[in-house]
Each structure stands twice: as C-alpha cells, then as structure tokens.
Amino acid sequence: MIIMKKNDPTLGEKTKIIFMKIPTKAYIVITILIAILYPLLIMYGTAGQLWLRLAVRTEILVLLALGLNLIIGDTGLLNLGYAAFFAVGAYLTAIFASPRFGFDLPFWILFLASGVTAGFFGFLVGLPTLKLRGDYLAIVTLALGESTRLTLNNWDYLTNGPGGIPGIYHPSFFGYPIDSYVKFYYLTLIIILISIVVLNNLKNSKLGRSLNAMRENEIAAECMGIDTTKAKILSFVISSVFAGLAGSIFASFQTFINPTNFVFMISTMIVCMVVLGGMGSIPGVIVGAIVLDTLPEIIRQTFSVWLPSVFGSDFYANWPHILKDLFINFDRYRMLFFGILIVLVILLKPEGLIPNKRRQKELRETDPREISESEKTLFDVEEGKMDVKV
Amino acid sequence: MKILRVENLTKRFGGLYAVNNLSFSLKKGEILSIIGPNGSGKTTLFNLITGIYPPTEGKIFLKDDDITGLRPDKIAHKGIKRTFQTLRVFPNMTILENVLVGMHPIIEENIFNSIFHPPIMKRQQKEATEKAISILSFFGTRLTGTRLHHPANSLSYANRRRLEICRALASDPKVLLLDEPAAGMNPKESLEIMDQIKQIRDKGYSIILIEHDMKVVKGASNRVIALDYGEKIAEGTPKEVSEHPRVIEAYLGKKVAKNA
Amino acid sequence: MSVTSFLNLTVNGITVGMIYALIALGYTMVYGILEFINFAHGEVFTIGGYFGAIFLTWIIIQPGMPFVLKITLIILAFLFSIIATSLLGETVYLIAYKPLVGKSSRIGPLLSAIGVSIVLQNLILLIFGTTPITMPVEAIPRGFFIIGDAYIRHIGLIIIGITCISMFILSLYVKKSRMGQAMRATSQDIEAAEMMGINTNRIISITFIIGSALAAVAGILVCMYYGTLKFNIGFLYGLKAFTACVVGGIGSIPGAFIGSLFIGLIENYSIGLKFNLLGIFVALVFLLGTYYQFYLLPKKAKAGIKFIAPLFSKREEEKGSLVTTEKKTKKDLMSMEEKEMAKKAYYFGPLLIFFNFKKKNPSSFVAFHVRQSIKISFFNLFVFITMILMLFIFPNFQISSQWKDVVTYLMLILILIVKPSGLLGENIPEKV
C-alpha cells in the first residue's frame, strides 16, 4: 500500500480498489437479490416468458457446471462424459413420471433417486478408472458419454430410442404443482443455493482439503495420510450426484427428452463454462455458465430482432455475407466460438474470469516447486531483516 | 525400546541395488542420522519406509507391527510422517491449510459432516486450527501471524522446509523422517534448525534424519549410519562414524583415504 | 460361419487396423515425448482426407486419362495433403500447445487440445456442411479378387502395403538416424536431452509433422476405401486409434502397430462372428502377448548384464580381489548361477525361464525381469481363461449390428481400464 501512495493509481487501479473494498458478503447479497427479483423484472409480455424459460435452462446448466467444477477444479481430473450422468438422472425421472410405463412417482422421491442413481453410476465408472492416469480418464469418460447416448438411442424398450419420452409430468409438492416457468425458476434457484452451501462446506472440510492437496502434489498428499483413490472416487461420485439432480429437473421441466439432449457437445459446453469462469472457483463457474448460455441468445436477439427493428430491415444490406451470417445464425457458430474460447482462456487467462486465488499461480507458474528468482530474493531480504530484529 | 525396525531391506531398480540388505533400528526418543554420498540410497530408504516404493526384499516393523508393503496413506495413519528433499508443500494452499492437511490422520470427519457442517464440526475445526497455530508457532513468527493465510508458494525455501516439518508434526507421529531439513539454509539458520530438531526430540518424538551438513549431524544426532551403494558401511556415534576409514573413502575417494 | 466370410472379415479387419495404425503413430509419438493426448489428431486426420479429396476433385480426374497420369495425379494429391496437413499440425502445436509445454498444470494442455479439436471439427462443418465429401470415382482402384465367396478389394491390399512401408521407414528412421536418436532421447527425458544440446523444440515440431503427415495419408486412404468422408469421423477414429496405442503399450511404435491390428480385427469379428470364434481370437491374441513378454526376456536380461557389470566389479574390489575391472569380461562378472540362467534364457527361450523362475532363484537379477514379465502377462492369461470359459457359456451369442458402436466404445473403455499398461508393455519412462 505504501507503493500505492507514491505513484498515483490509474483509473483502472482505482476502480479495482473500489471493488475490492466492497465486502464479499455484499456481493453475495446483491447477487441473490438480483436472482430473486429477476422474474419480476421480465414478467411482462411473451418476450419475458422466453427469457424466463432461458433462465431456467441457464440455472440447470449452472447446477451442472457446479458439479463438474468439483472434478475439474478441485480434484484436477477431466471428465468429458458428464452428459452421461445428466442423462441417467433425466431418464430415471422420465421413465418413472410419464405415461410411458404408467408410473407417477412423487417428484421429490425421483429427484433424490436420480441423484443417487447417477452417483452409483459414477461409482461404478470411477472405481476402475480413477486408478488410471489423469488423461486416460478423459478418454474413458469421453467413450462412456458417447456409449451412454447410443445405448439410450438403441434401447427401444426402455427409452423409446430416438423418439424420446414425451409427456413427463410436472413436479408437485404435496398438491402444489410446479407448472409455470416462474415456479420452476424458484425451485431451481433454491436447489442451486443449497448446492452452493454444500459445495462451500465441502471446500472447507477434510475431504475438500484432501482433494486440493492431491491435485497439488499427489505423493505428498499420500504421505500425509490421504487415501487418494478413495478421495478421487468420492469427488467423482458427488459430482455425478449433481449431474443426476440437474437431469431430474431438466426432464420434468422440458416434459420431453430424447438422446440428442445428451450429446458430447453438452459435455464440452459445461467444461467450457468451468474453464471460462475459473476452475475451482464457485462464483466463477456460475458466471461462466450464465455468460456462455445467455450470450449466444443475446447476440441472436440483438442482431436478428432488435437491430433490424431499430435501424430498419435493410440494416444488413452492405454487410459482407460471412459477417451477416455470423451474427444472425450465431447458433451455427456457437461450438466454434466455444472451442476458440477454451483455447484462448487456457492460453491467456487460465485462471478464468473470477479466479480461485489458490489455483491462479498453479496455472500460471512454470513449476510450483521452483520459486522465481525475484520472489526468492524478496523474501530472503525480508528474512534478513527479521533476523536483525531478533 | 525400539520403535522402528528395518530388517534385511533390499530395493532393486532393474539390476541396480538402491538399498542392499540393510538392517537397523530406531530407539524411542533418539535422533538417528543417515549419511552417505549422493546416490547412496538415503532417499530411497525413506521412500521404502513410507511405502512409496514396495521393497524387493526385507521387512519393516513399527513397534511390532509389520508395515512392509502398505500404501503410504496407511503408513501415515500408523504414525510415520516425513518431509521431502525436493520440497513438496502444497503450493497454492495457505500455510494453515497445509498443516491441516498434515493433521489428516487425527481429524475424524465423515462425509455427512463434510457436507452439512453440523455445530459439532465447527468446534472440531476450531480446535484443529488452534492446534495448527500452536505447532506453527514452534518456529516463532516465521509462519504465523498474517502469513497464516498466505499461500505456501509465497514462502522462501527455508520457510518451506520449516512448514514441511510442521506439516509432518501435525498428526503427532511416532516416527519423523526428515530429508535434508537444513538444505538451502545459511549457516546460522542451520544451527537454529539443529537446535529445533533437538527440541522436537525432547518432546518425545523419534527422528531419522538425512543430512549433508556434518555440523548439523554431529550436533544433533545420537547415532549415525553411513550408507554407500545402498549398503551400511558404518554405524555408531557421530565421532566414530566420521573417523571410520570407509566413510572417508566413500566421501573422498580411495586415494585420499589412503594418504590420510 | 463359413471360412470365406471369415477371410473377408480378417482382410477388412487388417485394412481398418492399418488405418488405425497410421493415426495411432501420431498419438503415440506425441504421448511419448510430451505425455499428453493430442485430442485434435482425429480432426487432423479428417482434414487430411478432405484435402486429398478436394485436390482430386479440383484437378478433375477424367475417365479416359492414361493410367500413368492418373497415378501421378493421385500421388500429387497425397503430397499436397501431406504438406498441407503437416503445416496444420505444426500450426496447431505452435499456437495451442507450445505455450503450455512445461507448465505445472496437467489439465491445461488437455483442455487446449479439446478446444482445438472442437474448432477444427466445426470449421470443417461450417465450410463443407454436413454432407460427406466424396472421392472422385476415377481415383479409386476398383479391382478385386474373389477367393471362394470372399471378396477382397485391391484398395485394401494397397492400404496394407502403404502402411507397412511407412511403418518400416519410420521405425528405421527413429532407430538409425541422428534425428531419430535425438527423438528417443527427448522422449526419455526432455530436460536432459536439452542439456545435451538437442533442440527439443525442433524435435517436438518434427514429431507433430510426422504424425500429421501419416494422419493425412490415413485420411486419403479411408476416403478411397469407403468413397466418402464425414466431418465428424475423426472423433471415432481418433478414439479407436488412441485405444490401439494403449493396447499396444503407449509410447512404442511397434506397439501402436500391433494394437491397431488388434482393434481392427476385433471390431470386425465382434460384429461378424459368433461369440465362440470371437472368444478364440481374443484368447489367442492375449496368449501371443504373453509369449511375446517371455520372448523379450533374454534381451532384457542381456541389457541387465551390461548395466550391472560395474556394480559387480565394485563389490569384488571391495572384497580385496586384485583383479581390476578392465581385465574382466562381462561374463566373468556374473556368478555361475546367473550365467547359467542368462544362457538358458537366451538359448532355450521363454518356457525354460518360466520353469526356472518357479524353482526360485532369489539372488538372480534375471529373475527380476521374469517377475516383471509375469506381472504383465498375468492379465493376458486371465483373459485367455475367461474367454475360453465364455465359449462354453454363450456359444451362439451374436451381437446385432445396431449395437456396433456401443460395443466398440465399451470395448475401448474396457481395454483402457483393464490393460492400461498395454500388451507389449508401455514405453514411457517413469518420472518421479
């Protein structure tokens, strides 16, 4: 801070300082308030309904991203088949709450069962695979994701194949039906808030610390008494549970699911959200999911609806074809955009939008075991001073 | 009373003997130093005792408990903790968290508690934090105070070594293995760490020490074992071992030894 | 199940396996040096195929063209695709991987590779659309043999030929040339190689170029074999090729070849054959893998003798022996027992050494290698036995073609889980 006073801070630094002075709790309160008030702000008109529907989808993706973050961010392993666990939850709910087999179980039972089943699936997969090298795990989960989707596609008796399962019942709690976008929005919001509390608790617990320790130095972690295989499996299972829960909400919200909802693209999209937001940081992941899910929609709306309505329909007349196509049909370019984003983020800002302070250095530094020369001398000087005082 | 017993321990890598038919024992409350030229199998010995490598032959006993071939985490739970020659602190975790990870074997916490944090756990965590701070304050103000919540990679080499010792001490181990604790420290600091190791011993811990700095070895240890090519070439008090002809030969070469 | 359709399946299996081998080399070489999975390699393969097909469509191969001209054009297409794809592979390395090499985070390069893979796949999709690109009919050799009912296409044999030749050249290059030597040194220890004055950056670049070039060849060959190529084909091919590397033992070039052959054959057999024949095939392969372990043994043991010689001499010196090291030959340095063992291992082959091991020779260092080999081959024997048991349990079970892809994926998962060390043992130096 002494250095700060000597040189006048630039405007950017000033704003940074102002933002840093706001306590974390204020941010949390503001975010929750905005989240609660959001439906009221856009309740008017059909456009409002559209945005609300989008918001529920975003919430489900936030839940998925939070779960995947546990594996990628905290444990440092790559799961590329996350959509498979999502699918398990969704199909379980769909089968037991739709006219397909005539079942109509209460939602909260199915919700929990979806989580448990996805967790068990994760356990079965994780038990043999987590002993492998980290990068083999990526390949195994990749193959798993695809084979799960194909199985859903082929197993006509259970899943009705590519036709999917229509007519999934909306959930209801003790006679109170959750049947509108607003109600779904709040239901999912509550689940997300609970998840955040749970994940935050996990971070500050023995398990959370052992996951971080393992990621930073596996051998040292083992010598400190951490059963690495067990910890890895636990984190894999918990992360799968989140996917199952999200899947359950997804199925009852959409009322119709088919295997195309669970393609490889979904898995990579969630990975992208985690990477963009900041691996290992809960607020980062939430922001990442919101940005990546709403941005394409905003671009599409802006360029195909708002701009032409403001500037007239011949607004694009002089634009080059590719640029016009890019903005109007942004959906086609979405995956390309995601791919470029992953590479750019990893290369330029590997800690993500809202970095987890712990991981920041790990991703930047060349080798954690070696301190850079400047840092070393800095602290040696400090040591020297301390010795003089003593 | 013998707390750690190593019998006929052998480790081969391919055809190379890293540790060859080595037997020794550690008494309770003593400091046993292991010396030897580079590549004489000292660190491999530590890796064998802590279970990172399984031994090719031989047995290791903690008291009367056979711990040969157990996984490192099981061995840590039994009460053998170590530090590393190539520093292996968890660089992006705070100093406090590093020590809390070290406390792993003595913190009892099930998955339910981890997720829901009931009040009982908050008390537990508070106790653990207090204990961690009291361990860290063994090294004065170097690791405590505001530094407590700094990431470990902000520390200097010497302080990382101190942090590793704290981390190993955190779970009250029966045997403490220190791999070159004074490496990278200036003479004044190494004398200080020598005293501190003695203090740790006086608290009742049994210590095996690998060290190159002969001053530290002579000053701190009760007994010394010299290794060369994985074999024990001398054992005894620091003075005896440092005057043993084979030790001089191993360090300085045959010709010098003859001339001397 | 007739013999002829079995022949058909075998030839198809070998052909497909050869294509996997060409792709697998790129994976295994990069993994050997950088220890990361180049996810984008599957897409590089697809793009290679697209380049070839575009070139041939673009120069318009005419039906009436003389044979020699046609061949020249096809070779030109290969060259064009190889150069363009190599450049692409090198660019990808420079942009997306090079800045990350040597950083502590292991997940970073992996994520970057996935990003590149998505970008490349979507670029193909956006430029060429979802309709597959077709190879001009005139560019495809369309002859075939008929043996019984079996129908063997010339192109299949050409693929086998080209792959075998390029494999041979590549192994020769890696083994004999200076560059190859540097490459092997780099894959052993990248930092040590750098200190020895090897330009590791250049080595890595060359590795990427060779891998991409081979992938380009594979791409064109696939396009010729099936006539078309789809934008997302690289995903599946890449996955299979990577699994082939793992089966053969990642990091080793012959391993990639054998693993690919295995994957290609088993993929064809698993759909085309009833379970009993499939079982016999799998069992045989794993039995062969076991035998190969023992076959390698004498060589390993010999290396061990060389390696251990100075140690033995040291010990004798200490005991007060007056004989100096220089005068002793390596053979003299071994005890009689060990000499016998090594001799037997070398001359009498795998079986003898196995029985000798059973008699327990604890002091012999040869026994160490036997133990390693038995460890590796233990699983092979296990698969052999389970497969034989399966024959008796489900003799007439056959998988319907609808489940083909699922079976392939599950097989890949199973192989990666149970056999991460590979049939021939992996060739990654341990970095502790």
Question: For residues C229 and C49, what is the distance between their CA atoms, to the nearest angstrom?
Answer: 7
Any idea which of A219-228, B44-53, C165-174, C282-291 has the lowest mean pLDDT? C282-291
List C-alpha distances in Å: A38 to A47, A48, A57: 14, 10, 14
Cβ-contact B220, B194 below 8 angstroms: yes
Write out pLDDT tens, residues A203-222: 888 899 999 998 888 889 99
Write out pLDDT tens, residues C226-239: 888 888 888 889 98
The answer to whether residue C424 sits within a structural domain is: no
Identify whether residues C282 and C304 lie together within a single domain: yes
Identify whether residues C158 and C224 lie together within a single domain: yes
> Would you state the pLDDT for residue C222?
92
Average pLDDT, chain C: 75
Number of domains in chain C: 2
> Would you state the pLDDT for residue C314?
39
Write down which residue in C257, C273, C289 finishes a domain.
C273
> Which whole number is the average pLDDT over C390-417?
73
Asked if residue A362 has pLDDT above 70, the reply is: no
Please tell me if residue C3 touches chain A, with a CB cutoff of 8 Å: no
Question: For residues C121 and A339, what is the distance between their CA atoms, to the nearest angstrom?
Answer: 10
Please tell me if residue C421 touches chain A, with a CB cutoff of 8 Å: no
Who among A140, A341, A350 is closest to C108 (CB)?
A: A350
Who among B92, B100, B171 is closest to A362 (CB)?
A: B92
**For residue A344, how many C-alpha atoms fall within 13 Å in the half-sphere facing its CB?**
10
> Would you state the pLDDT for residue B255?
62
Q: At C178, is the pLDDT very low, low, confident or very high (cuts 50, 70, 90)?
A: confident
Contact partners for chain C, using 3 or more CB pairs closer than 8 A, are A, B
The answer to whether residue C294 sits within a structural domain is: yes
User: Are C123 and A336 an interchain contact pair (Cβ–Cβ within 8 Å)?
Assistant: yes
The answer to whether residue C82 sits within a structural domain is: yes
Q: At C45, is the pLDDT very low, low, confident or very high (cuts 50, 70, 90)?
A: very high
Q: At B63, is the pLDDT very low, low, confident or very high (cuts 50, 70, 90)?
A: confident
Determine if residue C154 is left, alpha or beta; phi over 0 gives left, psi from -120 to 50 gives alpha, anything else beta: alpha
User: Are C307 and B15 an interchain contact pair (Cβ–Cβ within 8 Å)?
Assistant: yes
Asked if residue B82 has pLDDT above 80, the reply is: yes
Identify whether residues C241 and C280 lie together within a single domain: no
Identify whether residues C340 and C392 lie together within a single domain: yes
**For residue C390, how many C-alpha atoms fall within 13 Å in the half-sphere facing its CB?**
18
Identify whether residues C131 and C53 lie together within a single domain: yes
User: Are A363 and C105 an interchain contact pair (Cβ–Cβ within 8 Å)?
Assistant: yes
Identify whether residues C211 and C313 lie together within a single domain: no
> Which whole number is the average pLDDT over B87-98?
88
Any idea which of A127-136, C59-68, C302-311 has the lowest mean pLDDT? C302-311
Q: At C129, is the pLDDT very low, low, confident or very high (cuts 50, 70, 90)?
A: confident
User: Are B91 and A201 an interchain contact pair (Cβ–Cβ within 8 Å)?
Assistant: no
> Would you state the pLDDT for residue C370?
57
Q: Domain limits at C374?
A: 276-397
Write out pLDDT tens, residues A64-103: 999 999 999 888 888 999 999 999 999 999 999 888 888 8
Q: Which of residues 134-173 of A touch B (CB under 8 A)?
A: none
The answer to whether residue C414 sits within a structural domain is: no
Asked if residue B124 has pLDDT above 70, the reply is: yes
Asked if residue A195 has pLDDT above 90, the reply is: yes
What element of type H or E holds C193? helix C190-195
By C-alpha distance, the chain A residue nearest C94 is A347
Cα angle value C391/C397/C401 (rounded, 5°): 135
Question: For residues A289 and A277, what is the distance between their CA atoms, to the nearest angstrom?
Answer: 7
Q: At C372, is the pLDDT very low, low, confident or very high (cuts 50, 70, 90)?
A: low
Identify whether residues C269 and C280 lie together within a single domain: no
User: Are C118 and A336 an interchain contact pair (Cβ–Cβ within 8 Å)?
Assistant: yes
Contact partners for chain B, using 3 or more CB pairs closer than 8 A, are A, C
User: Are C119 and A340 an interchain contact pair (Cβ–Cβ within 8 Å)?
Assistant: yes
Q: At C338, is the pLDDT very low, low, confident or very high (cuts 50, 70, 90)?
A: low
Question: For residues C1 and B179, what is the distance between their CA atoms, to the nearest angstrom?
Answer: 66
Backbone angles phi and psi of A326, in degrees to 5: -60, -45
Asked if residue A312 has pLDDT above 60, the reply is: yes
> Would you state the pLDDT for residue C362?
41
By C-alpha distance, the chain C residue nearest B249 is C318
Q: Between these two residues, A388 and B121, which has the higher pLDDT value?
A: B121
Identify whether residues C280 and C345 lie together within a single domain: yes
Question: For residues C426 and C35, what is the distance between their CA atoms, to the nearest angstrom?
Answer: 12
Query: Can you point out the beta strands (E) in chain B?
Result: 2-13, 16-27, 31-35, 57-62, 65-66, 80-82, 175-179, 206-210, 223-228, 231-236
Cβ-contact A242, A67 below 8 angstroms: yes
By C-alpha distance, the chain C residue nearest A332 is C126
The answer to whether residue C432 sits within a structural domain is: no
Q: Which of A367-381, C113-127, C366-380, C402-416 has the highest mean pLDDT?
A: C113-127
Asked if residue C429 has pLDDT above 70, the reply is: no
Chain A residues within 8 A of C417 when measuring between CB atoms: 128-129, 132, 140
Write out pLDDT tens, residues B166-225: 999 998 899 999 998 888 788 888 888 889 999 999 988 999 999 888 888 888 888 999
Please report, rounded to a whole number, the percentage of residues in chain B having pLDDT higher than 90. Answer: 20
By C-alpha distance, the chain C residue nearest B86 is C432
Please report, rounded to a whole number, the percentage of residues in chain A having pLDDT higher than 90. Answer: 30
Chain A residues within 8 A of C238 when measuring between CB atoms: none
> Would you state the pLDDT for residue A232?
92
> Would you state the pLDDT for residue C214?
93
User: Are C362 and B16 an interchain contact pair (Cβ–Cβ within 8 Å)?
Assistant: no
> Which whole number is the average pLDDT over A138-149?
89
Chain A residues within 8 A of C123 when measuring between CB atoms: 336
Average pLDDT, chain B: 86
The residue with tokens 């071992």 is B241
> Would you state the pLDDT for residue A238?
94
Between chain B and chain C, the number of residue pairs with CB atoms below 8 A apart is: 21
Chain B residues within 8 A of A226 when measuring between CB atoms: 73, 101, 104
Identify whether residues C235 and C344 lie together within a single domain: no
> Would you state the pLDDT for residue B121?
84
Identify whether residues C216 and C327 lie together within a single domain: no
Identify whether residues C7 and C80 lie together within a single domain: yes
> Which whole number is the average pLDDT over B68-80?
89
Identify whether residues C176 and C256 lie together within a single domain: yes
CATH number of the domain encompassing residue C56: 1.10.3470
Write out pLDDT tens, residues A282-307: 999 999 999 998 888 888 888 877 87
Who among A228, A358, A382 is closest to B92 (CB)?
A: A358
The answer to whether residue C382 sits within a structural domain is: yes
User: Are B17 and C307 an interchain contact pair (Cβ–Cβ within 8 Å)?
Assistant: no
Asked if residue C32 has pLDDT above 70, the reply is: yes
Burial class (CB in 10 A: 0-12, 13-18, 19+), A7: exposed
Nearest CA-CA distance, residue C200 and chain B, Å: 25
User: Are B101 and A217 an interchain contact pair (Cβ–Cβ within 8 Å)?
Assistant: no
User: Are A342 and C410 an interchain contact pair (Cβ–Cβ within 8 Å)?
Assistant: no
Name the CA dihedral angle for B107, B109, B111, B113, rounded to a multiple of 10 degrees: -130
> Which whole number is the average pLDDT over C183-196?
82
Asked if residue A177 has pLDDT above 80, the reply is: yes
Please report, rounded to a whole number, the percentage of residues in chain C having pLDDT higher than 90. Answer: 20
User: Are A336 and C119 an interchain contact pair (Cβ–Cβ within 8 Å)?
Assistant: yes
The answer to whether residue C403 sits within a structural domain is: no
By C-alpha distance, the chain A residue nearest C123 is A336
Q: At C409, is the pLDDT very low, low, confident or very high (cuts 50, 70, 90)?
A: confident
User: Are B90 and A380 an interchain contact pair (Cβ–Cβ within 8 Å)?
Assistant: no
Q: At B54, is the pLDDT very low, low, confident or very high (cuts 50, 70, 90)?
A: confident
User: Are B229 and C304 an interchain contact pair (Cβ–Cβ within 8 Å)?
Assistant: no
Please tell me if residue B73 touches chain A, with a CB cutoff of 8 Å: yes
pTM value is 0.82
Asked if residue C1 has pLDDT above 80, the reply is: no
The answer to whether residue C333 sits within a structural domain is: yes
Nearest CA-CA distance, residue C405 and chain A, Å: 7
> Would you state the pLDDT for residue C318?
39
ipTM for the complex shown: 0.88
